[in-house]
Structure 1
Amino acid sequence: MSHVSLSSIQAHTNNSFQQISLVRDSLMSQDNSGTSSEPNECRGGAATSNSTDPKAAEAALTAALHDAVRSGDIAAAKDLIIHKGAKEDSLDSQGRTPMIIAALNRDVAMVKMLGHGHDAFAYLADNSGTTPLMIAAKNNDIEMAKAFWPLGGRKGLQDNNGWTAMHFAAEQGSAEMLRALSMSPTKYALRNCDGSTPLDLAASGGHVEAVALILEICKKKLKKKDFSLQNTNLAGRTPLHSAVVAGSVEAVEFLYEAEPLALNIPDKNGDTPLNSAASRGDLKLTELLLSYGGDRDLPDNKGETPLTKASRGGFDDVANLVGRYQQTKANNPPYTSRSKSGNILGRIFRRS
């Protein structure tokens, strides 16, 4: 529809009225007896034909605005806001604003109309703490994310589980979204309820481009406590360990190069990255970690070493490799990630 009148707001009732002052009466007319909306003392008060219930009127406006936004009807939503007084920060039962609904619908045009050039509550979160910008990051919708920049879409806000927009983008593996969201290192030190940073999530997904970009953004901060690559999540895993579990050779290369001291840090089960690679039968990663100096003799909490884990799993090729490998501190990696890192970062920064 191109225009919403007062009668369309009251279309949720069984009768159609021309005056907003009768909103309460029209809403109350939807009972089982089918009584009319004429003033009636039995309804629990004085006659209301010339009065308005503000809460009912506001509820009707809110419902109409949210319906218009859901249906993508920009003209109707605009009319309700400008001419009828519907509020842009009105909430539904899940705490969602019109802006959140528009973001869920991936309706950039609606977002821009709701913003109309200024802060339009784009930072307000729903009951789960999710903001419109987080939704854009989850959907990897860069056009939507950029639409929030002038509207107060704050990038460092965390939802009820501690996730930021950067966490969602990293989980998706979108280096392009991460670059669009923030090139500020401080945003990447925030941890969610699992103790994971955006880098942890990128590594656990084996997302090489996202890992490379975050390392580049944070490279001058990596020796600081909050940014240390020796830090672990609540499972006791470093980003390097998470990349091993994901089976990503390239991500492991980047992370080892950035912090070699994370190589033999065990998780809460006592597993080192090498233990994890061997237990999964990952021959290539096992060889790479051994070449870096991964300790083949470190047992987990149950006393199992990489060799026993590989043997128990039936990974004979891995067990043979670990068994015959001559451990030295001077082992040189078979290849380096420096040129690869440059190529990947070049691809990322050429986009946009």
Structure 2
Amino acid sequence: MSLKKESLSDVQLHQAAMRGDVEGVRKIIDSGKVHIDSRDKEGTTPLILASANGHLECVKELLDQGADAAACRVTGTTALFFAAQCGFYEIVQLLLDNGAPVDSTSVDGGSPLFVACQCGHMDIVKELVERGAKINTHMKDKATPLFIAAQNGHYRILIYLLAQGFEPDTRRTDGATPLWIAAQMGHDHIVAQLLKAGARVDAARHDGATPLFKASHKGHSAVVNELLKYSPSLGLLPNGESALHAAALVGCLPVCKQLVAAGADPNLRNQEGYVPADLSYNSRFIIVGDYLKNSVKRIK
């Protein structure tokens, strides 16, 4: 994309669009001194600025004057991308009506649908999908719209995407699934729904950590409770640790109690030869260490 140096008129048009000054935009364009799609050094056009700032009337004026709804910045982001990200539903509709490409992507593979899922704009997600946006798409790291919705705890969007037939176990490049990321983030309602939809409870990231391991390490008791309903592995994982070791390391007594009650072995040694109580004592979580030590005695 070749970008010429901005003139004073270019700058004035951009400022007017950013403010939502319809009369100012019209006056500058009518002067004939500036192109409707003039770009700054980042490739930003007046339409992108007006859309990103939620100025509906200004967007209408620019489109009526012939602004290109498909124009993108050097990053690949379009007016539709920013309108979807910011939740400007009417602007999203208007841009789509005027030829904005629904699946245009940024350099990292992000699309209007991705940012709408990320920011929780349910109405825009539905609008984009109904206008033909591909849900079975992914960013460069292979994260999908479903993954993004799960990561950010957007329940209604997750339900909607699953209803469109989305596969719940699609993996990011590092092997993380939507269930894995939801467990790490502590979104128990998301975890419950993904499990109900058939997500594999022990789908591990490439380092061997399962959703239960991450939830235990983060101390997410409600998530652990949901995962335990689906009989996850309580033994040693490919990373050489167990979920109980993870909870013991961070001193999370409630999760330790949940895991032991579910059948986790407090006498299980990790790859370095430590039982969970050892990790608690080493981290100075004495109460947790004592609980785990006494649990071993009770089992014996």
Query: TM-score band, normalised by the shorter chain?
Result: 0.7 to 0.9
**Separation (CA, whole Å) in 1 of partners of 2:255 and 2:26:** 67
Amino acid in the other structure paired with 1:95 = G
Structure 1 equivalent of residue 74 of structure 2: 93
Q: Which residue of 1 aligns with 2:18?
A: none
Q: What SS does structure 2 have at the residue aligned with 1:88? A: coil
User: Is the CA contact (8 Å cut-off) linking 1:4 and 1:80 kept in structure 2?
Assistant: no
Task: State the distance in 1 between where 2:196 and 2:22 align.
Answer: 49
* CA distance, structure 2, for counterparts of residue 146 and residue 285 of structure 1: 38
Once the two structures are TM-superposed, the CA of residue 321 in structure 1 deviates from its matched residue by 2.0
SS of residue paired to 2:245: helix
Counterpart-to-counterpart distance in 2, 1:9 and 1:303: 74
Which residue of 54, 66, 80 maps to 1:72? 54
Mapping of residues 316-331 of structure 1, within 5 Å: 316-325=286-295, 326-327=298-299
In the alignment, what sits opposite 2:9?
A: none
Shift of 1:247: 1.3
Displacement after TM superposition at 1:244 (Å): 1.0
Q: 1:263 aligns with which of 234, 250, 256?
A: 234
Match of 2:265 among 286, 295, 313: 295
Question: In the alignment, which residue of structure 2 is the partner of 1:175?
Answer: 155
Deviations 1:31-67 (A, max 9, x none): xxxxxxxxxxxxxxxxxxxxxxxxx776569723223
Does the C-alpha gap of structure 1 residues 158 and 294 become closer, same or farther in structure 2, counting only changes over 3 Å? same
Distance 2:116 2:105 in 1: 13
Q: Distance in 2 between matches of 1:119 and 1:288?
A: 54
Q: Any conservation in 2 of the 1:296–1:306 contact (CA below 8 Å)?
A: yes
> AA paired with 2:107?
N
**Matched residue of 1:284: which SS?**
helix
Amino acid at match of 1:156: N
**How many Å separate the matches in 2 of 1:185 and 1:266?**
31
Separation of aligned partners in 2, 1:160 and 1:113: 29
CA separation of 1:5/1:253 partners in 2, compared to 1, >3 Å: closer, same or farther?
closer
For residues 69-125 of structure 1, give each alpha carbon's deviation from its aligned partner in whole angstroms, at most 9, with x where no partner exists: 2343334433443552x3222111211111002123321110011122x97422211
The answer to which of 100-109 and 209-218 deviates more is 100-109
Preserved contact between residue 279 and residue 313 of structure 1 (Cα < 8 Å): yes
Answer yes or no: is 1:233 the counterpart of 2:205.
Answer: yes
Contact 2:146 2:166 in 1 (8 A): no
Separation (CA, whole Å) in 1 of partners of 2:44 and 2:279:
60
**Contact residue 177 and residue 203 of structure 2 kept, 8 A:** no
CA distance in 2, matches of 1:313, 1:67: 51
Aligned counterparts of 1:64 and 1:281: Cα–Cα separation in 2: 54
Question: Would you say how many aligned residue pairs link Structure 1 and Structure 2?
Answer: 275
Partner of 2:10: none
Q: Which residue of 2 aligns with 1:127?
A: 107
Residues of 2 paired with 1:71 and 1:208: CA distance? Answer: 34
Deviations 1:159-218 (A, max 9, x none): 122222222221122222211333356432111122111111111111111111111122
Please name the residue that 2:187 is paired with: 207
Tell me the residue number matched to 1:249.
221
Written as runs of structure 1 = structure 2, the 5 A alignment for 1:154-173 is 154-173=134-153
Change in CA separation of 1:140 and 1:313 when aligned onto 2, cut-off 3 Å: same
- Pick closer, same or farther for the CA change 1:77–1:309 going to 2, 3 Å: same
**In the alignment, which of 102, 106, 115 is matched to residue 96 of structure 2?**
115
The letter of the residue matching 1:289 is L
- CA deviations 1:266-294 (Å, max 9, x no partner) are 252x2200111111112221122112221
Gaps of 5+ in 1: 11-15, 18-25, 28-55, 219-226, 329-352
Q: Is the 8 A contact 1:293 1:327 kept in 2?
A: no
- Alignment-derived partner of residue 11 in structure 2: none
Give unmatched runs, 5+ long, in structure 2.
1-20
Please say if residues 256 and 263 of structure 1, whose CA atoms lie closer than 8 Å, have aligned partners that are also in contact: no
Cα–Cα, structure 1 residues 80 and 57, in superposed 2: closer, same or farther, change >3 Å?
A: closer
Q: Which has the larger radius of gyration?
A: 1
Report the TM-score when normalising by structure 2: 0.81
- What is the CA RMSD across the aligned residues, in angstroms? 2.7
2: CA distance between counterparts of 1:127 and 1:231?
29
**Distance in 2 (alpha carbons) for counterparts of 1:319 and 1:229:** 28
| Sequence identity percentage | 24
- Counterparts of 1:120 and 1:195 in 2: how far apart (Å)? 33
TM-score, normalised by the number of residues in structure 1: 0.70
* Counterpart residue type for residue 298 of structure 1: L
Cα 1:136–1:186 shift into 2, 3 Å: closer
